[in-house]
A = this chain, B = another copy of it.
Amino acid sequence: MTPRKIELFVPAITPFAADLSVDTGRFVAHSKGLLASGAHGLAPFGTTSEANSLTVAERMSALEALVEAGIPAEQLIPGTGCCAAADSIALSAHATKLGCRGVLMLPPFFYKGVSDTGVFDAYAQVIEAVGPGLRVYLYHIPQMSGVPITLPLIERLIAAYPGVIAGLKDSSGSWENTASVIAAFPQIDTYSASETMIPENVAAGGAGCISASSNVNPAGIRALIDGLNGPDHGALHEQVSAVRRLFEGVPLIPGIKAAVAAQKNDPEFARVRPPFVATGSEHAADIADAVRIAGAQDRE
């Protein structure tokens, strides 16, 4: 058995123009910059990307722009899980047709208290409709979705669709849960949602991370991944932890966008769609410190 490849996928932020339309030019430029800075791939249209504030058409158009700009589809795992199955199917089929490595799929997330059987049926409906070529990364983020991806559900999905269920992103913040998923399902790639957990994730047999703050610190996180077995691993871990800690008191998504804007010296990147509000001056010092530690990211 070859060792698992450890990777960083970035849930790239979605820049908006003054009229709040998707700023495709800045989206492509930022995405290419993340890859040039060391990210192995992108997970656009995740939570950090404000994906749920985008329409189906906006997501398709922006994904096409990445591929047309020369980003290999094999490096892309776009988010495609919506409340309505037909929307999830349309986005997943579109990504599959473009040749994306897979899709990061939320369960339908309006209705709470639904059964594992109901969530299984929801995933099955999309998988059956999209057909060959689809690879699904399950997205466990119960504090936002309200619909957990439980271990029994993962087991059922892998049993029913063994070549389709490719991985899981655990955004629960519970290392115990991540460890349980890795231990129970070594055949899939399990990603942590924080770069601070990379050492434990990798030691347990996980696949790396998909992290909001990797929009700001891709080079640092890549250096940690590459240096995990080297003499500097402690210092590399401290660097990514120091950046991450500075966002703890800041509204995460507006804060990440403000930091990217600061790094690029381009305030346009800071704009958010409602229900988010741009960060205020009370967070400027933390953001500036995070940017100072992470360094500039425009390596394009």
Q: Are A273 and B58 in contact (CB under 8 A)?
A: no
Distance in angstroms from A283 CB to nearest chain B CB is: 14
Distance in angstroms from A115 CB to nearest chain B CB is: 6
A109 within 8 A of B: yes
Q: Interface residues of A, CB < 8 Å — how many?
A: 38
Residues of B within 8 A of A117 (CB): 277
Question: Could you tell me the distance between the alpha carbons of A87 and B53 in the complex, rounded to whole angstroms?
Answer: 9
A223 within 8 A of B: no
Contact of A275 among B55, B121, B274 (CB under 8 A): B121
Residues of B within 8 A of A122 (CB): 274-275
A242 within 8 A of B: no
Distance in angstroms from A95 CB to nearest chain B CB is: 18
Residues of B within 8 A of A52 (CB): 83-84, 108, 110-111
Known contacts A58-B86, A83-B83; A275 and B53 CB within 8 A of each other: no
Which of A20, A54, A110, A117 has the most chain B CB within a 10 Å cutoff?
A110
A276 within 8 A of B: yes
A147 within 8 A of B: yes
| Closest Cβ neighbor of A90 among chain B residues | B55
Question: Could you tell me the distance between the alpha carbons of A234 and B214 in the complex, rounded to whole angstroms?
Answer: 62
Which of A107, A114, A275, A277 has the most chain B CB within a 10 Å cutoff?
A275
Within residues 68 to 119 of chain A, which ones have a CB less than 8 A from any CB in chain B?
83-87, 107-112, 114-115, 117-119
Distance in angstroms from A78 CB to nearest chain B CB is: 16
A61 within 8 A of B: no
Residues of B within 8 A of A144 (CB): 110-112, 146
Question: Could you tell me the distance between the alpha carbons of A146 and B146 in the complex, rounded to whole angstroms?
Answer: 8
Which of A55, A84, A276 has the most chain B CB within a 10 Å cutoff?
A84
Distance in angstroms from A143 CB to nearest chain B CB is: 7
Question: Could you tell me the distance between the alpha carbons of A273 and B122 in the complex, rounded to whole angstroms?
Answer: 8
Distance in angstroms from A128 CB to nearest chain B CB is: 11
Question: Could you tell me the distance between the alpha carbons of A277 and B108 in the complex, rounded to whole angstroms?
Answer: 14
Residues of B within 8 A of A124 (CB): 274
Known contacts A53-B83, A83-B53, A110-B109; A118 and B58 CB within 8 A of each other: no
Distance in angstroms from A133 CB to nearest chain B CB is: 22
A180 within 8 A of B: no
Question: Could you tell me the distance between the alpha carbons of A53 and B83 in the complex, rounded to whole angstroms?
Answer: 6
Residues of B within 8 A of A109 (CB): 110
Residues of A within 8 A of B (CB): 20, 47, 52-55, 58, 83-87, 107-112, 114-115, 117-119, 121-122, 124-125, 143-147, 253, 273-277
Could you write out 20 A-B pairs with CB less than 8 Å apart? Answer: A20-B125, A47-B110, A53-B111, A55-B86, A85-B273, A110-B144, A111-B253, A111-B275, A111-B276, A112-B143, A114-B276, A115-B275, A117-B277, A118-B274, A118-B275, A118-B277, A119-B274, A122-B274, A144-B146, A146-B146
